[in-house]
Amino acid sequence: MLEKALSGSKRYWIWVTLLLAIIAVGFVAYMNQFNNGLGVTGMSRDVSWGLYIAQFTFLVGVAASAVMLVLPYYLHDFKKFGKMVILGEFLAIPAVIMCMLFIVVDLGQPMRIMNVILHPSPHSVMFYDMIVLCGYLLINLVVGWTTLGAERKGAPSPKWVKPIIYLSIPWAVSIHTVTAFLYAGLPGRHLWLSAIMAARFLASAFAAGPAILILLCFIVKKVSKFDPDPGVGAIQSLVKIVRYAMIANVFFYILELFTAFYSNIPEYSAPLRYIFFGMDGHYSLVPIMWTAVVLAFLGIAMLVFPSTRMNKATLIIGLLSIIIANWIDKGMILIVAGFVPNSFERVIEYAPTLNEILVTLAVYSIGMLLVTILYKVAISVREEKAN
Amino acid sequence: MSINRRQFLRRAGMVTALGIGSSFVITGFRKKDAAASGYTKAAKDMPAKRWAMVVDMSKFKSEADMEKVIEACHKLHNVPKFPNTKDEIKWIWKDDYHHTFAGGHNEYLDEHVMHSPFMVTCNHCENPPCVRACPTEATFQRPDGIVAMDFHRCIGCRFCMAACPFGARSFNFKDPRPFIEEVSTEYPTRTPGVVEKCNFCYERLADGLMPACVEKSNGGLIFGDLDDPNSEVRKIVSTKLTIRRKPELGTQPSVYYLVGGGEHA
């Protein structure tokens, strides 16, 4: 089926070339990092994880969000999602691959990555994260490819794939839970040391992931003859999922704020005070965080009122608001502020370097290229069937 | 002879299974006995159940006394001197009371005490969160309690740095070798991209010597086996008032700070 990605319109090839160009630039930037060490990034002894690990965290959520289509469709026989499920699975695959790439580019000794398998350490959460991420990639590849292949032949999906589909549901939850455990089990990092971390991760994932998927559906509808939501209201159903997930996410965040500030234990509220109000003359995250707060509430409002939710223009603004708010929260601040203030209660700030940003953009471009290829295949199969 | 795809896959599968299976068989029969393999215990090795350090700041009379200790360690272990703090590597360093014992801020504490310096290093915790976090066993706990590093196994994921509540770990963000003033032959230099920290001088303990910092501390750093009731560290810890950094986290640090100073033991 992959051959379908090799023919396309002029617009398709311009888009692919653009992505390849960004990847090439990022590759050069990565070579610079590979040869000169992680010193070319903004990370330091005090803030030892930055943009890369934050993107990893955000994208695990995007990958897990495919379950928001798979679960209603396969467990509740929610037929509306019939045409969209494959797009969810084909978004999960590039998202997991991007997660893995962000881990690799973050390593100081990437050539030794196999040590994780050669010297398996079941006491390390990273060991389990490796297992669940690899497993999730495999599951989605098998399920996505098999169901689409069967559809192409006009046959029902083979029976053996059903149990794998059911397995993908708890597995999706597991990838984000284990990712939260990477952080939530560390003593001395008060922003992360929270029982609600995994729940909040899932809530924010189920808001941002489907929101991205809806925007992708709009693009698919625009650039192809395939309509993922041919007047059945699939998108509006997904919008409701995004809305409630985002409300849950904001609610969980407020729970964190209450515990930290009402208990009045200085260590617990310190990172939050740094994020929202700045500390010791350092304010770099403050305007960014308040932007996220405004966008989160704006996004929820846009998705709550029927008039703005039904209108495509305002719906897109709402979805973008939610995606950006979640990205700021998880794809930037949560990881960085976990290290601020440091173990000596000193504020040492972090800002990514250009080299780091170029590598990050390249990994995203690889992801977008994979989305493009997989979606092209899926759309071509569907267009073929329609004719 | 031609074979079809099915036959090829079956045979390839059989060969793979045979290969993996036989590798298990070979490793299973490998001799476990260290002595039989030619490795023996160092002759002068000082055995201990739990190495620990007591810091008596009253013995440090000036900044120079502290610098001497830091210098001895960093020189011996080829710790580079980077011009900017972002890439900084440190095994033992000093910080003021207020920041070393962060958390219990007492606003009425005398300014002098608040800013008086303390030696800080890896705590070689009994329950080390860094060891728990490491996905490759590159950082591990020795039977004598020392939390050690294998620089050749470390993949540089820095999970241990996130896990350490004491900021004891440094990462080689850049190639450290050009920044070593005088290369010591007593200890290996490091490659970029690996984590490092204090190792309680296990290489010196194996030769029957005290850690380099202890040797240069004029009695300000007392080192010994906490498990031995007759050791000096044990006597101090059991009879004097000592404090540890962040004891509430349950990591059980092995570095104790003697409060009030004076004659110990």
Give the per-residue pLDDT at B212.
96
In the 8-state DSSP scheme, what is residue B155?
Answer: -
Query: What pLDDT is attached to residue B32?
Result: 56
How many angstroms separate the Cα of A100 from the Cα of each of A118, A208, A214, A263, A367?
Answer: 18, 19, 24, 38, 11
Say what the pLDDT of residue B18 is.
82
- In this complex, do B194 and A46 lie within 8 Å of one another by their Cβ atoms? no
Predicted pLDDT at B263? 55
CA distance A214 to chain B (A): 34
Min mean pLDDT across A27-41, B23-37, B218-232 is at B23-37
**pLDDT of B12 higher than 90:** no
- Does the CB of A110 have a partner CB in chain B at under 8 Å? yes
Work out how many domains chain A is built from and give that number: 1
Question: Hey, is the C-beta of A290 within 8 angstroms of any chain B C-beta?
Answer: no
Whether residue A346 lies within 8 A of chain B, CB to CB, comes out as yes
Instruction: Show the tokens assigned to B215.
Output: 């040797």
Residue B253 in this model has a pLDDT that exceeds 80: yes
pLDDT the model gives residue B261: 56
Other CB atoms within 10 A of residue B240 CB: 18
CB contact under 8 A, B102 and A344: yes
* A35 contact B CB<8A: no
Confidence of residue A6 (pLDDT cuts 50, 70, 90): confident
* Among A36, A48, A116, beta carbon nearest to B136: A116
Question: How far is B102 from B37, CA to CA, in rounded Å?
Answer: 48
What pairing do the DSSP bridges indicate for beta strands B221-225 and B51-55? Answer: antiparallel
- A173-187 tens-digit pLDDT: 999 999 999 999 999
- Measured between alpha carbons, how far is A60 from B147 in angstroms, rounded to an integer? 32
CA distance A146 to chain B (A): 20
Q: Cβ A107–B156 below 8 Å, yes or no? A: yes
- Taking a C-beta distance cutoff of 8 angstroms, is the pair B252, B265 a contact? no
Are the Cβ atoms of B161 and A115 closer than 8 angstroms? no
CATH code assigned at A85: 1.20.1630.10
**Nearest Cβ partner of A48 from B89, B134, B171?**
B171
Kindly state the percentage of chain B with pLDDT values over 70.
91
**Chain A nearest CA to B58, separation (Å):** 22
pLDDT in tens, B101-111: 877 677 788 88
Interface test with A, best of B157, B171, B255 (most A CBs within 10 A): B157
User: Please, which residues bridge with residue A12 across strands?
Assistant: none
- pLDDT of A198 over the 60 cut: yes
Is residue B32 within 8 Å of residue B176, measured between CB atoms?
A: no
Q: How far apart are CA A61 and CA A172, in angstroms?
A: 9
Please, is A110 exposed, middle or buried when counting C-beta atoms within 10 Å of its C-beta (0-12, 13-18, 19+)? Answer: middle
Nearest to B245 by CA among B135, B119, B156: B119
Q: Which residue has the higher pLDDT, B264 or B161?
A: B161
> Nearest to residue A95, comparing CAs of A334, A376, A366, A324?
A366
| Spatial separation of the C-alpha atoms in residues B72 and B183, rounded to whole Å | 13
List chain B residues with CB under 8 Å of A121. 134-137
What is the span of the domain harbouring residue A185?
2-386
Give dist(CA A303, CA A320) in Å, integer.
11
* Residue in the block written with tokens 């750093």: B221
Residue A115 to residue B136, Cβ atoms within 8 A: yes
Is the pLDDT at B8 greater than 90? The verdict is: no
Question: Nearest by CB to A119, which of B89, B137, B194?
Answer: B137
Angle of CA points B59, B65, B66, to nearest 5°:
95
Q: Which residue has the higher pLDDT, B18 or A109?
A: A109
Percent of chain A residues past pLDDT 70, beyond the cut: 100
pLDDT over 60 (residue B31): no
Short-list B89, B88, B90, B101, CA closest to B55: B101
For residue B50, what are its two tokens?
């739990």
- Which one of A39, A121, A346 has the shortest CB-CB distance to B173? A39
pTM for the model = 0.91
Are the C-beta atoms of residues B105 and B99 closer than 8 Å to each other?
A: no
Burial of B105 (0-12, 13-18, 19+ CB in 10 A): exposed
Pick from A96-105, B101-110, B155-164, B255-264: least confident: B255-264
Residues from chain B that touch A338, judged by Cβ atoms under 8 A, are 162
> Which run of H or of E encompasses B93?
strand B92-96
Confidence at residue B207, expressed as pLDDT on a 0 to 100 scale: 92
Structure tokens at A133: 């991420």
DSSP state of B78: T
User: Stretch B120-130: mean pLDDT, rounded?
Assistant: 97
Is the CB of B160 inside 8 Å of chain A's CB atoms? no
Residue B258, φ and ψ in degrees, nearest 5: -80, 120
B265: confidence class by pLDDT, cuts 50, 70, 90: very low
Model confidence band, residue B2 (pLDDT cutoffs 50, 70, 90) = low
The per-residue pLDDT for range B169-209, each reduced to its tens digit, is: 999 999 999 999 999 999 999 999 999 999 999 999 999 99
Enumerate the residues of chain A whose CB falls inside 8 A of the CB of residue B167.
Answer: 45-46, 342-344
Report CA torsion sign: A174, A177, A180, A185: negative
CA distance, residue A238 to nearest chain B CA (Å): 36
- Banded pLDDT at B35 (limits 50, 70, 90): low
pLDDT of residue B1: 55
Domains of chain B by start residue, with CATH: 51-258 (3.30.70.20)
pLDDT at A63: 94
CA distance A132 to A177: 10
| Residue A228 clears pLDDT 50, i.e. is over it | yes
> Are the C-beta atoms of A282 and A273 separated by less than 8 Å?
no
Q: Reduce the DSSP state of residue A295 to 3 states and report it.
A: helix
- The CA distance from A349 to A342, in Å, is 10
Q: What is the C-alpha separation between B116 and B42, in angstroms, rounded?
A: 40
CB pairs < 8 Å spanning A and B: 147
Q: Are A210 and A234 in contact (CB under 8 A)?
A: no
Q: How far apart are CA B127 and CA B254, in angstroms?
A: 10
Give the mean model confidence (pLDDT) for residues A275-303. 96
pLDDT tens per residue, range B127-175: 999 999 999 999 999 999 999 999 999 999 999 999 999 999 999 999 9
Per-residue tokens: B55: 């810091």
